A and B are shown apart, each in its own frame.
Chain A
Amino acid sequence: MIAEAQTLDMILAILGMSLATYLTRAAGLAVMSRLTLSGRAERFMKAIPGAILASIIAPQALAAGPAEAVATLVTGVCAWRFRNLPLAMAAGVAAVLALRLALR
């Protein structure tokens, strides 16, 4: 009986978590397809992509240590110069690996 209750709980939890996650994925489009933005709201939304990327990067780039900070710079320059995502990613990983070894 106990094992069965646990299994049922697990199924409920996984279904609930799946549904909750999908709701977050669908909500943005559901709202935006019913709105026409202008002025400040439009500027807010246009800034979101860059703001999200900057937010994901900032703690790793600026607060994790000198190796990460320099490697972020290397990645950025490489991306700007070559416009090749896999290359920039490889350069960043190689840079952080080398710098961590060098600065240890």
Chain B
Amino acid sequence: MNAQQSSTGGLLPFTWRGLAAGFRACVPVAIGVAVYGVLFGLLARQKGLPLWAAQSMSLGIYAGASQLIVLDLWGPDLPVVSLIVTTLIVNLRHVLMGAALSPWLTRITPQRAFGSLFFMTDESWAVSLGRWAEERRRGVVSDGAFLIGAGLCEYLFWNGSTLIGHFLVRGLDDPSKYGLDFAFTAVFTALLVGLKPKRADILPIICAGIAALVGARVLPGKWYILAGALAGGLAAALSPAPGRAER
């Protein structure tokens, strides 16, 4: 009962300790991210982007998949509108991710919440959500600064690696040669296990997986994530309400 009360009302603490905890928790993942940052810097230079442009993308957009995808559209006649629309579409999954964090972000001041969200990526979102959900289960008060700590860690690695990649003379080895391409799948798998799905959560998860599998074949970019998320959400919404005993 007490845990239920503390997880619904009142402002969350927002401390340097929480920020540091988020930063530390994200370091292993950020190392994996940095491999792709080097790749982005390198490909950007090969595409003829000056350093200031590649670095501004990593500083301002800070979304790996969309940055790599728009490099394909880059050319002497820059399709400015297509670039912006493509970026918007590739990143639409963030809308649902931000919504999923709202139980915690509505309990810190709007400035802090919307500032933290600038740094929200797939990885820092997942690490923070995993942490906060576990704390809610255990009835522990969460620290609202965890997300921005995790995000800042990845931001630092992503921008540092972009810079290094742009200066690299020789080509980067294929990340899959070292199994590093699998690091993300491993992280997200561990975080899904950490969410401790209950029986009622199994069907939405299966529906999401199936929709994502199909989506990955027929949809461009990262749209399969959005397709899977919507399918999982709909499966949950359309299934009968769980009994009171379960809630």
Query: In the complex the two chains form, is B191's CB within 8 Å of A53's CB?
Result: yes
Query: In the complex the two chains form, is B233's CB within 8 Å of A71's CB?
Result: no
CA separation between A18 and B95, bound complex, in Å?
15
CA separation between A82 and B206, bound complex, in Å?
24
**What secondary structure prevails in chain A residues at the interface with B?**
helix
Answer yes or no: B13 CB below 8 A from chain A CBs: no
B87-114 contact mask (Cβ, 8 Å, vs A): 1 or 0: 1100111111111111001100010011
- What is the number of residues of chain B that contact chain A, defined by CB distance less than 8 Å? 94
Query: In the complex the two chains form, is B232's CB within 8 Å of A17's CB?
Result: no
User: Can you pick out 25 interface pairs between chain A and chain B where the beta carbons lie within 8 Å of each other?
Assistant: A6-B78, A9-B78, A13-B83, A14-B60, A17-B61, A21-B62, A24-B94, A28-B102, A29-B102, A39-B241, A40-B237, A41-B237, A43-B236, A49-B129, A50-B208, A50-B232, A53-B191, A79-B191, A79-B194, A85-B28, A85-B130, A92-B183, A93-B178, A96-B179, A100-B179
Interface size on A, as a range, is 35 or more
Query: In the complex the two chains form, is A52's CB within 8 Å of B83's CB?
Result: no
CB contacts (< 8 Å) of A53 on chain B: these are 126, 188-189, 191-192, 195
Query: In the complex the two chains form, is B114's CB within 8 Å of A16's CB?
Result: no
CA separation between A17 and B102, bound complex, in Å?
24
CA separation between A93 and B190, bound complex, in Å?
12
Query: In the complex the two chains form, is A57's CB within 8 Å of B127's CB?
Result: no
A10/B78 contact (C-beta < 8 A), A56-B225, A57-B209, A89-B183 known: yes
